[in-house]
Structures are given as C-alpha cells and as structure tokens.
Amino acid sequence: MPGELVSLVGPSGCGKSTLLKILAGLHAHDGGEVRIGSASHPFDPARDVGMVFQAPLLLKWRRILANVMLPAEILGLPAAESRERARHLLDMVGLAGNEDKYPYELSGGMQQRAAIARALVHDPKLVLMDEPFGALDALTREKMNLELLRIWKEAGKTIVFVTHGISEAVFLGTRVIVLTAGPARMADNFEVDLPHPRTLDMKTNERFGEYTRRVYRLLGME
C-alpha cells in the first residue's frame, strides 16, 4: 500500500537484494510479473525509484550537496529547484550546515543520512533500502532506526527495507514480509499493529515480543 514501510527479512542468500534489484528494474526476473502503479499511473523505475545501499557510496570528490543532487542531474531535472530540494532534504535528515563538506568529514551515520537524502531528491514514488544500517555500530544503528521513522513520516514515501535483523524489521515496519532460505518463498506477510511514533522502549512490550517470536518460528530459530 502507498505510504507503508515494509520490512523484508530473511536469511543470507535467500534473494532479498535480488528482489530489490528486480523492483528497481536493475535485474530481470525469470517468471511471474512485477506490478507497481497502474495503467493510469504508470511506473518508471529510472524516475520513480530511490535506492539506499548497504554503504553510502558517496562520491568522495563531490561535496555533500553535490552528492545529494546527483540523481537530479542524471535525470536532467531543473538545477535551481533540485538544489533547493537537496538543501531541504539535508535539513530534514539533520545535516544542515554540512552541505560543503566532503564525505570523509562525516561519520558513517551522517554519510548514510546523506545517502537517504540523495535517494529522495528526485521525489521518487518508492524508496528501496538494502540493509542500509548493517555496517553501523549497535548504538548508531538504533539512532538511525529512529531517524528513519522520522524521515519516513515527514517525507511520506513508500519504503521497502531489507534487513537480517528480526527486531529491526518489526520495529520499523508497518508490515513485515518473511522469506525462507533459498530458493526463497514468502513464509508470511503480516501487519505490525504498534503505535506511532515508535520508541525504543516498545521493544520491551509483549506485543513486540509476539511479533519477533512469530518471525523466529517461521525461520526455524525458536
């Protein structure tokens, strides 16, 4: 559904990243069909998808503002409007004042925030996130989870978030899709009925525990 944050969780090698690449139009699929949008609202992956990878992949020779503007430049969007939007997004992700810095001057978490801003600069309909916080330390990862929920609410985008972390999947998702070991099949697809805004103390909630145990059982880990 539009506006959801869908967590996609499953063991290593089951095809989570491949599924994202198919959604982004970067990888052919052998069978079935992918339907995003409708006849009246056609979907163009090159224009309508924003991608956040495991590493920020910022260009080290470009300043942060220029890095964020890169998708807009590739798509040939108006420069002045794109620059204004990039500045707004950097403010939204908590990086105002860092526009003229180079990537090496920012921490890992700050670089990933810049990557999120870059994924949003061309105003995509769908944002795909492939384990974007996997390389961060545990404390920074918790903070980035909270930041992502804030950014998601403010930006109003549909997000598909791939993770190995069962707790992370439940904490972030309005919906969790569970994939089994490869060849992957969808073992479950359930809504997460937890209130927003979400807080870290929700992880001690019994309802949260029920959801995580549900995923553990599906993956044969309980």
Domains of the chain: 1-43+125-222 (3.40.50.300), 58-123 (no CATH)
pTM strictly above 0.75: yes
Q: Is the peptide bond preceding residue 197 cis, with omega within 30 degrees of 0? A: yes
pLDDT at position 195 is: 93
**Cα–Cα distance measured from residue 115 to residue 109, given in angstroms and rounded to the nearest whole number:** 10
Report the percent of the chain where pLDDT is more than 90. 73
pLDDT at position 23 is: 85
Using the 8-state DSSP alphabet, how is residue 72 labeled? H
Arithmetic mean of pLDDT, 109-120 = 96
Q: How confident is the model at residue 38 (pLDDT cuts 50, 70, 90)?
A: low
pLDDT above 60 for 143? yes
Nearest Cα neighbor of 36 from 27, 46, 47, 44 is 44
The answer to whether 202 touches 168, Cβ cutoff 8 Å, is: no
Q: How confident is the model at residue 183 (pLDDT cuts 50, 70, 90)?
A: confident
End-to-end CA distance of the chain: 31
pLDDT at position 40 is: 60
pLDDT at position 21 is: 85
pLDDT above 90 for 95? yes
CB atoms within 10 A of CB 61: 9
Arithmetic mean of pLDDT, 173-195 = 91
Report the percent of the chain where pLDDT is more than 70. 96
pLDDT at position 25 is: 78
